[in-house]
Amino acid sequence: MTISFANRVAIVTGAGGGLGRAYALELARRGAKVVVNDLGGARDGSGSSLSAAQAVVDEITAAGGEAMANSASVTDAPAIERMVANVKERWGRIDILINNAGILRDKTFVKMSLDDFRQVLDVHLIGSVICTKAVWEIMREQAYGRILMTTSSTGLYGNFGQANYGAAKLGLVGLMKTLSLEGAKYNVKCNTVAPLAATRMTEDLMPPELLARMGPETVVPAAVYLVSEDAPSNAVINAGGGGFERSYVTLTRGIHVGADDMTAETVAARFEEISDRTGELVPDTGAAQGAMALGGR
């Protein structure tokens, strides 16, 4: 099976370098017309320039592909809407959106300002909402869309000094789960990738010998599959360094008690039983928790 993106139009945010650049180049190599969106700022989100996005566009066009550069901030809803309108006018459709743009403002929670917390949520979470909202109706109307969110092991499992980043990244998983349900009727699929890659975002977070094995190209196969025609929906794939895994949000079988035992002491006494993962479930929707709470086992 060969995955092709001929006649497809893709928008990749944060595509001026690192993972986004690698995604854009591979999509273009496989036939997609690509919008390379990148603010062109520093790792903390300051500054802006079109040069980073244009450099990737130049790479694509030099290889015979079609691409356009855009430097709108993903937090600027009117600018993103203009970008989407321009793409629709030029190429007639939008098939793929990869929400990859991000910034870091790492500090321990006690030292982190509320502004640093908000800024990271604004770019990662709200920025993804803004971009997805801008293409959502187009994808529904054309009965085709593939949307990829970007989470992180920090969001899935936690990491010291990244409370803002972790909150944003797990929020994206929740967004993906609901959009995968709402988009199903319209053939709009939504997935999430959890990259582990050597990029500007991670260059001082991991040792050099590990970074050397984790180039952005090691994440590309998962991202490309998750925005392909035959992609699943509601999947979280971890990728990097040659490894590919799938993450799940699970629900244990737990316990069900009567009114007389509905106390904090019961929860404390039976916590190990509540936590037992034997026969755990992977719910399709949030309704599963309600069914379990009411005694469904």
Is residue 144 annotated as part of the catalytic site, yes or no?
no
Dihedral pair phi/psi, residue 42, rounded to 5°: -80, 175
Q: Which of 74, 70, 94 is nearest to 83 (CA)?
A: 70
Tell me how far apart the alpha carbons of residues 277 and 252 are, in angstroms, rounded to a whole number: 5
Tell me how far apart the alpha carbons of residues 44 and 25 are, in angstroms, rounded to a whole number: 25
**Please, are residues 205 and 186 in contact by the beta-carbon 8 Å criterion?**
no
Tell me how far apart the alpha carbons of residues 45 and 126 are, in angstroms, rounded to a whole number: 14
Identify the active-site residue in 165, 186, 225, 248. Answer: 165
Cite the DSSP H helix spans in 146-193. Answer: 153-157, 163-183
DSSP string, 67-106: EEEE---TT-HHHHHHHHHHHHHHHS---EEE--------
Spatial CB neighbours of 83, under 8 Å, sequence gap ≥ 6: 11, 35, 37, 70, 72, 134
What is the SS3 assignment for 238? strand
Cite the DSSP H helix spans in 227-263. Answer: none
Active site residues: 165
